[in-house]
Each structure stands twice: as structure tokens, then as C-alpha cells.
Chain A
Amino acid sequence: MADDNSKYAWPAESKRAFIGKRISRVDGPEKVSGAAKYTYDLHRPGMLYGKVVRSPYAHAKVVSVDTSAAEKIPGVVAVHVILDAGSEIQWAGDDVVVVAAVDEQTATDALRAIKVEYQPLPHYVDDFTEPKDVPESSGPLMMRDIGTMLENQVPDPQIIQTVQQRGIGFKVSDGLVGRLRDNKVSEDVIKTLQSATFKEPQPPTSPFRKETDAVRGEPDDAFKQSDVISEGVYGCPVITHCCMESHGSISEWTDDDHLFARVSTQNVSGLAGQFHDALKIPEKNVHVHQDHVGGGFGSKFQIDRWGIYTAQVSKKAGGKPVRYMLERAAELELAGCRPSIFAHVKVGAKKDGTLLAWESHSWGTGGPGPAGPPPMPYVVNIPNQRKGHVSIATNIGPARAWRAPNHPQGCLVTLGAIDDLAAKLNMDPLDLILKNIQLTAPQNDQFHRADTYRDELLKAADLIGWKQKWHPRGQGTGPVKQGLGLAIHTWGGRGHESNCQLTIHPDGSVDIRMGSQDLGTGTRTCIIIVAADTLGIPMNQIDLKIGDSDYPADGGSGGSTTIGGVSSSTRRAAVDALSVLFDKIAPSLNAQAGDLEAVNETIRVKSDPSRSISWKAACAKLGTQPIQALGKNPGPGDLISSGVGGAIMADVSVDMDTGVVKMNKMVCVQDCGLIINMKTAESQCYGAMIMGIASTLYEEKIMDNNTGRMLNPNMDFYRLAGIGDIPELVVHMMTGPGYDERGPIGLGEPPTVGPAAAIANAVANAIGVRVPFLPITPDRVLAALSVFQANQGGSHASV
């Protein structure tokens, strides 16, 4: 029995007490009442407040730093220079000096007394203008370039290819390898770096770096065979994460060598290693804690420079707790940056819509380092391709992973180009995608991906009324024109490494400890659902604690890896603990342990439920000895898989006189394997659509070429969607046979991918012309319309 991994398998639908039901999140009451404490909310005894002097220049050298006057201000406890004279600054807002004072007002006064002299250097923040005169050789990759790719979660094969093509301009020391391992960089990437060709680094002569130049199949022949070729330009700017709780931490030294850090993070278990690298203290001496986090979206995996200098200034202040949370402007300038994409695309097809050829020339920026080219063509794998991508090194601040890194960009460009092709063919884009649906099947397609996409598209079409409402592009009537658009998307989402320590106590209570974190996705609730379902007890009988580095380590919550990880480790822990309990009580029920089941606070014989014992009475038989089990992921039994799809459809109205786009309705049809909690799963999809509306219609990190600074680092002018911008939203989760047996797969990323393409396509369908670049603001709509009307009959425009 102990070797039988089938005991871990997910319960059949008829046996599920909680899994897959609609269950309110367990920390809801705390969150709605202000009782939930975030890092920003904590006050430690004697806590000091941090404030930071930031560079007004996007590119500069620090010439001198004078903190003497600030140090004399009563109430200023410590001043720490982060960037000494001689340091080079690569983006505006970079952190130069941190001050710790008894209150924020005093810290603010101290900043004014600090004198920093800079030598401004030329900056480059233009990622929109198409690169010209791109050097053939980009020179070797520097460590910063590798860091940017890792931060943006560029897939390993792509990083490896880039390293092999360009070589590296730095030495791979043992210390560096250790740091890479601390940051969970894959052994394949580390090996590639160790064996990479060293090339002497040269000062860059151009901000442009050629990244991809790839040909697949026979694109030239395929374009010749094409009856119709559509050409267009597409793109979206850099956007910023704008977490409601800004990045930051509270650090205190419990003695000279022990750090206690409370951090707003997506990566509780992973931070000690990062502190170790930066502060040279043993990892085991770093204690990290977090109860709640006010948003991350991919931007909170690292301790970051501010986390390190908060610890350093705390040490200077005699170890006293120092809280430093980024000011809103810094949060928007520094702590969030989704890479941009701009692309010229050519697509060729037969008259009947059979897709033959793809050509794209794209560019974009991930800040100083390359963010990797987005996957293009996206999902619809057109057989013959030619692709080139140039990354632009800019002084706009470093890229950070943003939900489904690079996928929304690739989806926008690909599905936009296919939509334009459909218009040129006078075809319904839904029919065109369905005709080419086999191109969506990945290699080794064990889960019938193409069939799933077809089912999802047809379901979405049904929910939005596609057949009734769709009209050929630009054929709507009246001054306010309605349009429909669609997109499909994908993501991996396999569960990460996870450890669950579960204890059954003799009084019948159960506690669980895990070093994971709940980003607001409902992780806590899902862990308790799995444990309660497995043990056959009510959810409120389980005491769950997460968010502490003293608990068994768990993966960072990114890339939709959490649900698969924590649900599997919890399932294994609960099954193992229950097996021990069954062994203990089987004799008293005159049965074999393997014949028992735990249902409804009762342990009973499967074949004869009348032979039973209550959960409490069973646990009482443990005497003084609790049962403890450590469940792991990966572990015995195959509980999870990877790879999901989904379809998004949007219904918009556009006022042809004002250019204002209004959302009418949006539909998300999504698969993610076995759903643990239907309520929070749907919330992920609602949230993804709403974020998608914001990034498509409103969001842009606007950079000023003259000053090199972000022009809108505040929430007045960095616009998020408000409640009034949100239309009717419909979510349909694909469940049941064919899905459930795949086990839980992550959901945070995939539904965030398609909305931009679906909305942009709907706008084109409404007004008759492509608005090439996001955000689709009224001025861009009107500009696209005026170019279109000037060249009557043209199929695209650029603004």
C-alpha cells in the first residue's frame, strides 16, 4: 500500500466535498475589515522611517554626495549612501542616498538637506522609432543582460540560444554560480554560461541589439504561393505594474548577524538567498515574513536594491527596525516595467484562408538589457516564417516579469495580423482561425490542444453572440459603431517545488505550515480546500500558516506555478498523514487500513459505512503523539500537468466623432485542468479581463525624450481602469472529463494574454481600420480614421 502512488490521485467528482466548488476565500473577512496586515501596515517597536534621494537624471555619473547637513538634523538616526561618487546611473529615479529618521516628516526634511552633484550623460528612452543602422554584431552579453532575461522569465531555450550566439563578456565565478543557484536559475542555463565563449566586452556604439534572425520553412516560396498578403504594423508601449502596495520592506537586526525582514514579496522562501548574496550573512540567519501582499503581478520576486539598503541603513541605526516602502512615483518609475513591442508584419494565405507564410520585423525595449523577443507567430504556428527582432537598450528602467511575460505582446501582434488578413480575405476571423485550428496543436500534443481551442472558441462565440452580431469590418451603421474581436492564448503553468508540513493533533485539529504566499489569487483557500477534502473534515478545522521563511520552503508565486505546487504537496501530505491514522484505527474497526475512507468527519469502512468512528474519536486514539507528514512537489504520483489554452472575445462600441472606445461585453473561456476553487478561479479571469481593458485602452509609461523621465509617474495620469470602464463580463471555465484528470494547472497568466488582441481587433472591426498601437486612445482612433479616410480603400494606417 505504501508504494501505491494511486492513493494520491485526485478524488473523482462524486467524492469531492470542496474541490471544484464555489468557496469564499478564507481571508476575506480580514481583508474587508482592515484586519489583514500588509508589510506597509506594520509598526515595529522603535521603528524608523526611510526616505530616499533619487536621481533626476536618466543617465549620469554621481560626482559628489554630501550628507553632513542631513546627519545633523534632530531625529535623523542614520544616513547611508547607496551610490558613491563615481557610480553610474542608468535610469531616472535611481536610489542614491537613504535616510532613516524617527518619523516620515523628519526623513523628508533630511532629504532636502542632502546635496548630490551629478554629471549628466546622454540618455536614450525612445523605443518607438524603428531602429535603423543596427550593428551586425551586438557584442557579448553582460551579466546585466542575463539578469534582465531571467527577470522577464524568458524561456531557458531562448536564453541558451542567445548566450551561444553572442557569447559573454564576464567571468562565471563560483560565487556567481552560487548566486544563480540561490535564484533558482536552471542548471541548463548555468552550464551554458560556464561553457560560453568569453568575448572582450566593448563599449556599445548603438542602443540597438540584433536578437533574432530566424527562418523556418520556405517563407519566400510560401509568400509567392499566397493568394492574399496582408501587411501591417502593430505594437504596445512599456507599461508599469503599479502595485497598490508599493514595493518595500521593514528590516531589523536582532543581533549583529541576524536579520529579520518583513517584505512585500511574491517569493518568501527565496529571499534569504538574495540577502545572503548581497549582505554576506548566512542564509539561515535571515528570517523573512509576510502575511499579505498588496499586488505583485510579477514585479516582486527580488529583494531589490531597496530591500538591501533598508537592511543596511537599519544596521547603521544600531539594528533598529526601518520601514521603507517606495513612494508612488518611484513605484511607477522603477518597480514595474513590461517590455514594449512594435512590429512590421506580413502574412500570406490561400484564398480559402489557409495560412502559409509569416514575416515579422520587430523591436522593443526591456530597459538596459534584452527582454527577449515575444513568441511570434503566437499560438497559430504558421508553417513558413522569417523573423527578426531588435532589442533597444534604453534608460527607462529595468524590465520586470509582468503576468505572462512576452505573451500579451506576441498575441497582440499575431492575432492582429491574422485579423487584418481575414478582413482582406472578406472572411470572418472566427472562421479563419477555425480553418487553421490544427496549427495551434503543439508538438507532442497529448491533450488535443487544437480540439480544445475549437471548443473554447465555439463556446465563447455562443456566449458573446458572435454569429448574430458579427459583421464584416467597418460595416456597422450609425455614428457609434459596434465591433467584435477575438484572440486565443496559452501558458504552461506546471506546479513549482513545494513543501507542505501537515500535522494531525490528538484533539482532531489539523495544522499546516508552508513557506508559500497568497498574492490574492486565493492560495490559502485552495490549500485548505485540498486538505479538508482529503481528510474529510470541515475547512475551519484547519489552521494554515504561510508566508514565513521558517516554514518548509516553497516556490515563488510566478508563472502560474503556485496552484499546481501547493495543491499537490498538500494532497500528498494529507494522504500520508491520513494513512498513518488509518493504520492506527483499522484494528478497532476490524478492517484493513486500505479499506477505510475519511468522509464528513467520520472514518469508515468503504464497503460497510456502518462500521465507523468519528474523526475526533479516531484522533483521540493517537494519545499524545500527533501525526506529522511532509508532502512534496514533485513527489510520488503524477498529480499535475502543463499547458493550457483559452479564448477571449470582446464587443466594443466606438464613437466615430470623438474616437472614444466603450466596452460592451467581454467573454473569457479558459481551461486550467482540475479547478480547486471555482470562485477564485473565475476571479482570476475577471481580473485578467479588467487588467487587459486597462492596458489596451489606457496604460502607457510615457517617457520624455528631452529629460529621459517618465511623464506620468502618478495615478492621475498613469490611468488604470475604473469601475465605470468595465462592461458585462462572462467567464466560462472548461471542466469535467478531459480536463479534471490533468490535475490543477496555473491560471494567473493565461487569461491576461488575449484581452489586448481581442479588444484591438474589435475596434478594427467597428471602425474599419486598424489602430496600430496601444493604448487605443481617442486621438489614436481619430488619427487612424483620418489616414484611412484619406486613402480610401487602404487596409491599414500608421500614426
Chain B
Amino acid sequence: MDDLPDKKAKKRKSKQSSSNSGLSRRDFLKITGASAAAPLVAGAAAIAIEPPQAAIQGPGKVPITLTINGKKNNAQLEPRVTLLDALRDQFELTGAKRVCDRGTCGACTVLLDGKAVYSCSVLAIDAQNKPITTVEGLGQPGHLHPVQQAFVDNDAQQCGFCTPGFVVACKAFLDQHPHPTLEEIKHGLSGNLCRCGTYAGIRLAVMQAAKAGKGA
């Protein structure tokens, strides 16, 4: 790989540019680490990583507004707080669960701007100005969303801790694939994990919800 001529050229080029700026990559990291707020009028590499016009937030609490299930919610949060922790600890929306806490299991899945995201891997501060839908917003007992009803009908749950994340992921999946094949289901829902072993029920639930034609 290293022998490919264009890669080599690129490597040389980047070396040149950093020596032109008078900063090695190591020096750059030192500077940003010591004082992230210090203005950097260095080489192109530095500007690409940290644009000087970026607004600095925190580290203390800052006002954050989130539009959740059609309602605006305000809170004072440190910028390091994830969307998941904001939903659960600030707004008492505990349907999204914290399980792996690093973007693997999908138990924290919510819709951000209509797309399924792992809310443990999105900062609350970055989720502002976009509509957020949690499992609570899809439906509640007495008026369940067809996907939720399909989960009940097909016993697609045991302990139920992964279930809300799965329900939201299924809703987003059906929005994209209103008439899914079994292979598409296996692929499209591979971002969520269950420990009790409810996948057989979940497959049936997705099929039922798709048939109802109300997946979206």
C-alpha cells in the first residue's frame, strides 16, 4: 500500500505543509491539549481540525433546548452530557435505556430528525434544533403505535429492557422499507441487541406492522 505513488505523494505533501507551518503534529496536539481555546493561526492542518470561528461551550452548564415529542424542553446541562442522559435524567423520558453506553446495543435508540440514532453517542447540545422522537412519543398504553401493538401481539419482548430501542429502530426501518424481506429485516435491525432472545417475535412483529401498512 505504501508503495502506491499517489499515497506517497500525499504523505510528502502533508509533511511539507506541517513543516511549513513550523508545527509538527505532536506540537499541534500539545497546544490544543494545553489550551483548546487558544487561537491557532497555524498551518492548514490545524485549521482543518479546529476552525477558529468555533464557539466554545462549557465546561460548565449551558442552556440547552430540545424539541422532544413535539414539545420544547429547556435545561442547564454541561456540554458533555449525552442526549440519552439528558432524556433520562433531565426530562424523565426513560424509555431509551442505557445498556452498553458506547453505540453497540441500540437500547438507547431514538429518532433524531426522523432517523434512528444511538442517543448515547449524540451530545444533547448537538441535538438542538432537530425534532426528537422517543418511544414514549410513538404511543402509550391505550393508543399504541402499530409497531408497538405488533410487538405485544407477537410477544417480541421478555425482560423488555431492549424493547423500546427495538421498537424505535423498527419504526425507522419500516419508514425506509415499508415492505421488507426477511433478509432486509436481518440486516436493517442488526444494530440492536437483545439478551433474552426475542428475535423470533421481533421478526414476526415487523412483518405484522408492515402488513398493517402503517409502519410509517
Bound CA–CA A245/B105 (angstroms)? 12
The residues in A between 1 and 60 inclusive whose CB is less than 8 angstroms from any CB of B are 24-25, 27-38, 40-41, 43
Flag if A34 contacts B200 (CB, 8 Å): no
Which of A25, A31, A328 counts the most B-chain CB atoms under 10 A from its CB?
A31
Q: How far is the CA of A388 from the CA of B20 in the complex (A)?
A: 72
The residue from B81, B88, B94, B162 contacting A244, defined by CB atoms under 8 A apart: B162
**Chain B interface: which of A164-172, A719-727, A766-774?**
A719-727
- The chain A residue sitting closest to B137, CB to CB, is A34
Residue from the list A105, A292, A686, A716 in contact with B81, Cβ < 8 A: A105
Of the 9-residue stretches A282-290, A508-516, A535-543, A687-695, which lies at the interface with chain B?
A687-695
Cα–Cα distance between A43 and B90 once the two chains are bound (Å):
10
- Chain A CB within 8 A of B89 CB: yes
Report Cα–Cα, A573/B89, bound state, in Å.
41
- Tell me the chain B residues, 130-148 only, with Cβ under 8 Å from chain A: 134-136, 138-142, 144, 148
Q: Which residue of B lies closest to A694 (CB)?
A: B197
The answer for the CA separation of A297 and B140 in the assembled complex, in Å, is: 29
B111 to chain A, nearest CB (A): 13
Once the chains bind, are B200 and A104 in contact (CB under 8 Å)? no
If A105-B80, A295-B159 touch, whether A29 touches B198 (CB-CB below 8 Å) is no
Q: Is A226 an interface residue (CB 8 A)?
A: no
Find out whether the CB atom of B97 lies under 8 angstroms from the CB atom of A32. Answer: no
> Given A244-B162, A295-B161, A723–B189 Cβ distance below 8 Å?
yes
The reply to whether A32 and B102 contact each other, CB–CB distance below 8 Å, is no
Q: Which of A32, A41, A682 contacts B88 (CB 8 A)?
A: A41
Contact (Cβ within 8 A) B134 A34: yes
Known A32-B151, A245-B161; judge A687-B197 contact (CB<8 A). Answer: yes
How extensive is the interface on chain A, given as a class?
A: 35 or more
Chain A residues lying within 8 Å of B185, measured Cβ to Cβ, are 723
Per-residue CB contact flags for chain B residues 156-180 toward chain A (1 = under 8 Å, else 0) read 0111111110010000000000000
Task: Let me know if B152 is at the binding interface, CB within 8 A.
Answer: yes
Contacts of B107 in A (CB 8 A): 244
CB of A28 to closest CB in B, whole Å = 4
A32-B148, A105-B80, A716-B102 given; A519·B202 CB < 8 A: no
The answer to the question of A345 belonging to the interface, with a C-beta cut-off of 8 Å to chain B, is no
User: A670 to B106, alpha carbons, bound, how many Å?
Assistant: 32
Across the interface, which residues of A come within 8 angstroms of B15, CB to CB?
none
* Given A35-B136, A521-B158, A715-B105, A40 and B97 contact (CB-CB distance below 8 Å): yes
Bound CA–CA A689/B200 (angstroms): 10
- Expressed in whole angstroms, the Cα–Cα distance for A238 and B58 within the complex equals 44
Q: Is the CB of A33 within 8 A of B141?
A: yes
The interface bits of chain A over 284-308 (1 if a CB of B lies within 8 angstroms of the residue's CB, else 0) are: 0000000011111100000000000
CB of B44 within 8 A of chain A?
no
* Interface status of A520 (Cβ within 8 A of chain B): yes
For residues 77 through 115 of chain B, which have their beta carbon under 8 Å from a beta carbon of chain A? 78, 80-81, 85, 88-89, 92-102, 104-105, 107
Check B89 against A43 for contact (C-beta < 8 Å): yes
Minimum CB–CB distance from A203 to chain B (whole Å) comes to: 40
Residues of B within 8 A of A27 (CB): 160
B192 CB–A CB distance under 8 Å: yes
Interface: A729 (CB within 8 A): yes
Known: A293-B159, A723-B190. A327 touches B195 (CB 8 A): no
The 17 sampled A-B contact pairs (Cβ below 8 Å) are A25-B152, A29-B144, A30-B141, A32-B157, A32-B167, A244-B105, A244-B195, A245-B161, A292-B159, A292-B160, A297-B195, A520-B157, A520-B160, A716-B100, A720-B194, A724-B190, A726-B203
A sample of 9 more A-B contacts (CB under 8 A), given A31-B164, A244-B159, is A38-B97, A103-B89, A104-B89, A105-B80, A245-B161, A328-B99, A680-B155, A688-B197, A722-B193
